[in-house]
Amino acid sequence: MTSLPAPTRKKLGLVIDLDICVGCHACAVACKEWNTSNYGAPLSDQDPYGADPSGTWLNRIHSYEVLPREGTAQIVHFPKSCLHCDDAPCVTVCPTGASYKRIEDGIVLVNEDTCMGCGLCAWACPYGAREMDAAEGVMKKCTLCVDRIYNEHIPEVDRVPACVRTCPAHARHFGDLADPQSDVSLMVAERGGYDLMPEMATKPVNKYLPPRPKADRAVSMEVSSGVDIHALAQSAVQSGSYSRPGGMLGWLDRALATLD
C-alpha cells in the first residue's frame, strides 16, 4: 500500500464558485482536450457518435433544479473532479504505489506505468472522482494540469489548470490553499468556502463557494426535500462552521446522489 506524505508545505487546489457557474461545460471540454493531447495516456471514448456513447472525463458537471416557494425554478450547476485530499483514501489502498500524493505541492497523481487497473482507488474515493480508461486499462484522474502549471515554455497567464483558464464566468480559481494570504484562501475565508462531504474525513483541498442570497428574490429557496439552501449557507458563514456534515454541500451531495 502507498503511504501519504507528512502535511505538505503547499496545497495546490481549486476553489469553485457555485454562485456564478453557468454549467456551460467549457471546463470539462478543456480538461478533456488538454489531457488527451498531453499528460499520460489519451482519454478515450467508446462509440462517441453511437446510441450508447461512453468515455473518460476527469471533470464532470452535475445540474439540478432548485424549486423556490414562488416563481420559476432555478438551475444550479455543480462541477466535480478530484479534490486532492490531504488524507486521500485512494492513495492508501493502492497495492502497487501507482497512486501517490506529491510532497512538494500536495497534488494526487497516478503513475500509469505501475497502475494495474484494479480499481481499488475508485472504490475508495467517496467522490467518484476516478475513472478507468476502457481503452488503456489504467486509472485516470484530475492532475491539476501538473504538466501545464510548471511549464516555463508557455506564457505565464496559461500556467493554471486548463479548466481555470477556459472558464468564461471566472467561476474557477487556482492557488495554494496552505497559504492563508493567497487569493484562493482569502476568497474561501470571505465567502465561507465548504469542504465536500466533510463527514468522510478526507480533508479535501478543493473548496466550494456557496451561492449568494439574491437581493431581488425571496431569501428562502427550497428544494423538494424542504431544505432551505440559502439559510444553510448563511448559517454556516455566520457561525464559521464551514465543515459541518449538515451544511450546504452535504445537502448537495445527497441531491447529486439521487441523479446517479
Cell of 136: 488503456
pLDDT category, 6, cuts 50, 70, 90? confident
Q: Pick 3 or 188 by higher pLDDT.
A: 188
**DSSP per-residue letters across 106-129:** --EEE-TTT-----HHHHH-TT--
* Contact residues for 97 (Cβ-Cβ < 8 A; gap 6+): 2, 111, 114
The answer for 76, left when phi > 0, alpha when psi is -120 to 50, beta otherwise, is beta
Report whether pLDDT(12) > 90.
yes
* Contact residues for 174 (Cβ-Cβ < 8 A; gap 6+): 12, 13, 14, 15, 144, 149, 160, 161, 164, 184
> Considering the domain 12-81+145-257 in this protein, what is its CATH number?
3.30.70.20
Please say whether the beta carbons of 208 and 193 come within 8 A: yes
The 10 Å Cβ neighbour count of residue 90 is: 27
- pLDDT score recorded for residue 40: 78
d(CA 25, CA 43): 17
Report whether pLDDT(234) > 70.
no
Q: Pick 31 or 230 by higher pLDDT.
A: 31
d(CA 78, CA 217): 21
- pLDDT score recorded for residue 222: 38
Report whether pLDDT(107) > 90.
yes
Tell me the average pLDDT of the chain: 83
Report whether pLDDT(217) > 50.
no
Q: Does the predicted TM-score (pTM) go above 0.85?
A: no
pLDDT digits (tens, 9 = 90+) for 150-195: 999 999 999 999 999 999 999 999 999 999 999 999 999 999 998 9
Only one residue has cell 468564461, namely 168
Report whether pLDDT(117) > 60.
yes
pLDDT digits (tens, 9 = 90+) for 197-212: 999 999 999 999 987 7
DSSP code of 212? P
